[in-house]
Chain A
Amino acid sequence: MTRTIELRSAPALGQVFAKAAATGPMRKGRTLPDLEVVRRGVRIDQGALAAYDQVCGFPVTHLVPATYLHVLVFPLQVTLMADKEFPFPLVGSVHLSNTITQHRRVDAHETLDLAVRIENLRPHHRGAQADLIGEARVGDELVWEDRSTYLFRGQKVDGQAAPRTEDPEPPSGPGVVWPLAADLGRRYAAVSGDVNPIHMHPLTAKAFGFPTTIVHGMWTKARMLAAVDNRLPEAFTITVDFKKPVLIPSKVRFTAAETDGRWQLGLVNAGKGSVHALGSVIPAS
């Protein structure tokens, strides 16, 4: 039977991270817990939303960007992965891909019920991967869904990893160059609550095996969405695969191409051209 953890308020993520980090080495198992984390009656703080809009490049309005709802379910995801029954260490996990379906635009005045579960554990050539499923409802209406695929490096599960496939090329064209400041990770942490040390400072990032600070994947996705959001219909699905961490400070190039309402998105290093992220937007049929 599904066990449910109901949060009454947004948890202090620093503490949850600390608990997850401390218990990481003791974790074992090869199955996912049948666990759901929910938070009901969530009201959106307009000041916090405005600050998020500014860091990610959305206009400050009463409409809630699809990626902001991910910020609201993120603490539920972390709570789930920090639970004692969760088999893998949270610290060191890698966000591989994120798919969001917005069924309709959410207004900042609406009250939301949020839920997160995890499913689809499968092998990955570098470990194990699973999907965290997030949902937002207004009353009974499902308005938003999120699928965050995480890699748990070095973990073993039964089965064969799917063969690696060739990535498509990012859309061509000059695109737009975004200079990313060294403090972008801290600024996004301040508006998202995701204070993972790999995003905060070169030294803490090095401690976790990165050459320097890396930007949050969900900032990358939010910034890419913000660049095309006003061209999208009310209902759409946006997927972004995170290919290579974006080290900061740096310059990245964003390219986009639209055909019949479908968008291809790309984010590459402005100098070397190495691919950081590939995305697509598909309007609801």
Chain B
Amino acid sequence: MSLRDVYVIGGNRIPFARSGGKYLKASNQDMLTAVIDGLVARYGLAGERLGEVAAGAVIKHARDFNLTREAVLGSHLSPETPAYDVQQACGTGLETAILVANKISLGQIDSGLAGGSDTTSDAPLALNDELRQTLMQANYAKTPQQRIKALAKIRPNQLVPEQPRNAEPRTGLSMGEHMAITTKEWGISREAQDELTVNSHHNLAAAYDRGFFDDLVTPYLGLTRDQNLRPDSSVEKLATLKPVFGKGEGATMTAGNSTPLSDGASMVLLSSKEWADEHKLTPLARFVDGEASAVDYVHGKEGLLMAPPYAIARLLKRNNLTLQDFDFYEIHEAFASTVLCHLAAMEDAEFCKTRLGLDEPLGAIDRSKLNVNGSSLAAGHPFAATGGRIVATLAKMLHEKGSGRGLISICAAGGQGVVAILEATSEDNK
């Protein structure tokens, strides 16, 4: 079986809202449906049967077990389009793109949508675990006496629902607390973090101003731009914020240089060249390759969010590329310090030798090529929606430039990382 080239035809997302903001009434299914319908309208896909739709949400209600399929059934796509859910924490969106791209490459399908949605405003509250067990016991009771006995165990304190926590199950530490440890290890300064944050806001605002997102973002529920975006952000203003993660002198991570909880959804349309030609659509970029990695953060061997450099090293080797062979770097800003830790680690000879097994360090990148149209610190980060946002943004950047190559890197909970390479199409490269 021969492999085919895979193309990013386009993308769509809704502006990202701050948690408890404009999307309080929207569910993941609503947002995914809206994003799919936006793509359907933009690319004339009404009633079309696509190869598949892969998407997911990190925080999901039990009733959303078939979230993506339900969104497809509520959309203007053909109801005969299959769909499935994927969950790889913040790597979800990019992982779905890799999955769909692989199937297209193998010739199993010709087209597909990949993406994700997340909301912290419509998050599931679970029954207190003890109460849930009591109710299950009562449910399975055979006699009324057994049932009464089971129900008699309910205590008022069990009526408080369990809220989903942004914490690692195995360490009990929040992502920010984990990141604070790594930030300190790599000696990342507060100033460097705030500077990266300001760049993210300024770059995203400038991209909106020049209309870059006009065909990538569909307004939703009264939002036309990301709610978290602060075009007037400055290092001076950010310097006034108190650290929220880490303790004492070395604490550098604030609410400003960390991504806020947010709501939103994104999708990208991928296809073979033949499918794009048949539909008279111009591909934005070629989806070259992807790689995932994971590290043992549980016992402190590696930082929770330090997996991406491992994936980057393997991906570069497989594609015979160096870290400097790129025109754009899209490194997801979970926290400003995450990006800076990755960059520091990839420049560090010791880290690259002992951890990545490389003779030479991956080296430094040209910082003017990093997140040039802003990233998660400014846009917000609805976990599963970030991959689709970045793939669509980078694909359009490559199409605008008409040549070159871009690297995507996304860190994820559970000590994971998902990375990918996109390239300008051969027509663009001519």
- Residues on A facing B (Cβ under 8 Å): 46-47, 50-51, 53-54, 59-63, 109, 230-231, 233
Contact = CB atoms under 8 A, between A and B. Distances in A.
A50 B25 contact: yes
A63 B37 contact: yes
A262 B74 CA distance: 19
B25 A47 contact: yes
B76 interface: yes
Given A50-B25, A51-B25, A62 B74 contact: no
B76 A62 contact: no
Given A46-B221, A62-B221, A63-B37, 15 more contacts: A46-B222, A50-B26, A50-B221, A51-B25, A59-B33, A59-B34, A60-B25, A60-B27, A60-B34, A61-B220, A62-B34, A62-B219, A230-B75, A231-B76, A231-B79
B219 A54 contact: no
Interface in B1-56: 22, 25-27, 29-31, 33-34, 37, 46
Contact of B29 (A46, A59, A62, A63): A59
A239 B26 CA distance: 29
A50 B220 CA distance: 11
A63 B22 CA distance: 16
A51 B37 CA distance: 20
B218 interface: yes
Contacts of A46: 22, 221-222
A109 B219 contact: yes
Contacts of B37: 61, 63, 230
Contacts of A50: 25-26, 221
Interface residues of B, number: 20
B222 A61 contact: no
Contacts of A109: 219
B18 to A, nearest CB: 16
A16 B292 CA distance: 64
Given A230-B74, A230-B75, A230-B76, A60 B26 contact: yes
Contacts of A231: 76, 79
A60 B218 contact: no
Contacts of A233: 46
A51 to B, nearest CB: 7
A61 B33 contact: yes
Contact of B34 (A47, A51, A54, A61): A61
A143 B195 CA distance: 49
Contacts of B27: 60
Contacts of A61: 30, 33-34, 37, 220
A230 B37 CA distance: 9
25 contacts: A46-B22, A47-B25, A47-B221, A50-B25, A50-B221, A51-B25, A54-B25, A59-B29, A59-B33, A59-B34, A59-B74, A60-B26, A60-B34, A61-B33, A61-B34, A61-B37, A61-B220, A62-B34, A62-B220, A62-B221, A109-B219, A230-B37, A230-B75, A230-B76, A233-B46
Contacts of A62: 34, 218-221
Contacts of B34: 59-62
Nearest to B223: A46
Contacts of A59: 29-30, 33-34, 74
Contacts of B75: 230
Nearest to A230: B76
Interface in B229-281: none
A60 B75 CA distance: 12
Closest 5 CB pairs of A and B: A60-B30, A50-B25, A61-B34, A59-B33, A46-B222
Contacts of A60: 25-27, 30-31, 34, 221
A126 to B, nearest CB: 39
A52 to B, nearest CB: 10
A67 to B, nearest CB: 16
Contacts of B76: 230-231
Contacts of B30: 53, 59-61
B132 to A, nearest CB: 24
A280 B405 CA distance: 53
A51 B30 CA distance: 12
Contacts of A54: 25
Contacts of B22: 46
A53 B31 CA distance: 13
A231 B37 CA distance: 12
Q: Which of A46, A51, A230, A231 has the most CB of B within 10 A?
A: A230
Contacts of B74: 59, 230
B260 to A, nearest CB: 21
Contacts of B218: 62
Nearest to B224: A109
Nearest to A232: B76
Q: Which of A50, A53, A63 has the most CB of B within 10 A?
A: A50
Contacts of A63: 37
A109 B222 CA distance: 8
A61 B218 CA distance: 10
Contacts of A53: 30
Nearest to B31: A60
A3 B187 CA distance: 77
Interface in B55-76: 74-76
A112 to B, nearest CB: 16
Contacts of A230: 37, 74-76
B249 to A, nearest CB: 45
B252 to A, nearest CB: 39
Contacts of B219: 62, 109
A109 B221 CA distance: 9
Nearest to A107: B219
A135 to B, nearest CB: 25
Interface string B322-356: 00000000000000000000000000000000000
Nearest to A63: B37
Nearest to B72: A230
B46 to A, nearest CB: 8
A63 B74 CA distance: 13
A204 B270 CA distance: 57
Q: Which of A62, A231, A233 has the most CB of B within 10 A?
A: A62
A50 to B, nearest CB: 4
Nearest to B26: A60
